[in-house]
A and B are shown apart, each in its own frame.
Chain A
Amino acid sequence: GQNIDQPTEMTATEGAIVQINCTYQTSGFNGLFWYQQHAGEAPTFLSYNVLDGLEEKGRFSSFLSRSKGYSYLLLKELQMKDSASYLCAVSPPPSYIPTFGRGTSLIVHP
């Protein structure tokens, strides 16, 4: 199957660091995506990991381990505006159907 699992909800404090995990049961995909979706808005692209390891992009970093079927999104110096849902997604062959996790709702407290 192509199950993608993420925690449903996480809470964190402004200024802190939070790690949002994503585990999947599929293989052969080109890369793994992370999207951010604020309430009432459309998902927007955050990151894409092809190779194993950490990709850093400002306050956000994303990690992939294909051997462990695992990815995480790391958010540093949390801001209130980071309160949103974070979705991981893959498009495994042969169908290349984009498959999203159910999303992790992150609540950032002052």
Chain B
Amino acid sequence: DTAVSQTPKYLVTQMGNDKSIKCEQNLGHDTMYWYKQDSKKFLKIMFSYNNKELIINETVPNRFSPKSPDKAHLNLHINSLELGDSAVYFCASRAGGWREDYNEQFFGPGTRLTVL
């Protein structure tokens, strides 16, 4: 029944490690996003994909690499983790194409990443 799911929910790791977060949506949406929400609760777009194609890459360090094997999945791989990467990462999806922004976004439950 879950519309947008993410795994894992919590991720605690050491600086320098590589980790991945997975996201899946069963809503049949064409557009998916990754957001980072920092400790001050500011929700900032990182990437946007439309039907498996990268549309937006918002000046995110290239240690972050999204991958969309199909339009229902958008995974996020992070290399060489840094302390500043600690945040909550949200995946979201929306119906319609990347310009059709009149549909609301559905968010996953978030992944709380802590880098020690």
Contact = CB atoms under 8 A, between A and B. Distances in A.
Interface range for B = 20 to 34
A43 B48 contact: no
Instruction: Give chain A's interface secondary structure class.
Output: loop
Given A97-B45, A97-B56, A102-B41, A45 B99 contact: no
Interface residues of A, number: 26
Interface in A56-108: 85, 87, 91, 93, 95-100, 102-103, 105
A93 B102 CA distance: 12
Contacts of A96: 98-99, 101
Interface of B: 33, 40-45, 48, 56, 58, 90, 98-99, 101-102, 104-110
Given A30-B102, A42-B110, 13 more contacts: A33-B104, A41-B109, A42-B107, A42-B108, A42-B109, A43-B105, A45-B106, A50-B102, A85-B41, A96-B98, A98-B33, A98-B45, A98-B48
